[in-house]
Amino acid sequence: MRVTVLDDYQGIVAKLDAARMLDGIGAELNVLTTHIDDEAALIDALRGTHCLVLIRERSSITAAVIAALPELKLIVQTGRLSGCIDLEACKAHGVVVRDGTGNPIAPAELTWALVLAASRRVVPYAVRLDAGVWQRSEDRIENEQLGRSLHGRTLGVWAHGKIGSRVAAFGKAFGMKVVVHGREGSRASAEQAGHTFMADRRAFFACADVLSLHLRLNDDTRHIVTLEDLMAMPRGSLLVNTSRAELIAPGVLLAALATGRPAQAALDVFEDEPSGASLYAGHPQVLATPHLGFVERDTYESYFGEAFAHVRRFIQG
């Protein structure tokens, strides 16, 4: 049976220890390393596929794709199901769908890496050092500015769940005052951890020197962050989003950055990835990374260990 993995940008899946789970069961592993935007081209690339493995929500599997692939019998989503598979079409065509579990550790670590890198201006300093320029972060000296340490500043965490709670703990370890906003579940867990819970949303934005979003994306949270929210942030503040780009209303982050509130944004997620990242890549106030939250060896071994276990059970009946 042909097992196809989509969007393996680093070409790493076949090298994972987890890939050995497909040995000896008649599985032909077919790994595609380039994202395919065009639906017709995607259908052509998937012809002959019996088992399809998705890396998170990098590709959408629509009803048209499912209908055009009569040999497709199993779709496995690494991580939790996230709306990128047409489940009704799968049911109608007898395609089994399976998913896995999430890993909060890697995205929490990546979030904190962005907080540190943006606050201390690590990337622009490193880029200019590569060009032979010592201790400068800007091309023009009149634009030069120093980074900021985190100790004594206020970290705002919206949603104190599995990832947000880890980010809050990092902030506390760095000597930051941690303020949490969210629903009652966030209140209970935040107060248990010794953090301040702030129910007033505008006051939450206004107090945060660094504000990190960790909400789930659903109908209630889509575009929940408004221009007014962002412009309430202090001058010199940093907004971090490693959760979902669609939490922020369209266009408002760029508009807010233009006013200096917040002064910076650190982003790992974008609408319409990967093309949507072009709006932010190279922006002088934005540190942008290409959705790396889960992209590290241990998470991949875990994700594909679960995914290929589903494939193995399916093939073996």
Residues with catalytic function: 244, 273, 291
Whether the bond between 290 and the residue before it is cis, its omega within 30 degrees of 0, is: no
In this structure, are residues 162 and 156 in contact, taking their beta carbons and an 8 Å threshold?
no
Structure tokens at 258: 């233009």
Q: How many residues are present in the chain?
A: 317
Give residue for tokens 């990374």. 289
Q: Give the CA angle between residues 161, 162, 163 to the nearest 5°.
A: 95
Structure tokens at 26: 């008649």
The DSSP 8-state label assigned to residue 85 in this structure reads B
In sign, the C-alpha dihedral spanning 117, 123, 126, 132 is negative
Cα 115 to Cα 150: distance, rounded to the nearest angstrom: 9
H helix and E strand count, the chain: 11, 12
- Four-point Cα dihedral 232, 238, 239, 241, nearest 10: -170
Give residue for tokens 């023009």. 140
Whether the bond between 284 and the residue before it is cis, its omega within 30 degrees of 0, is: no
Give residue for tokens 């091309």. 139
In this structure, are residues 163 and 190 in contact, taking their beta carbons and an 8 Å threshold?
no
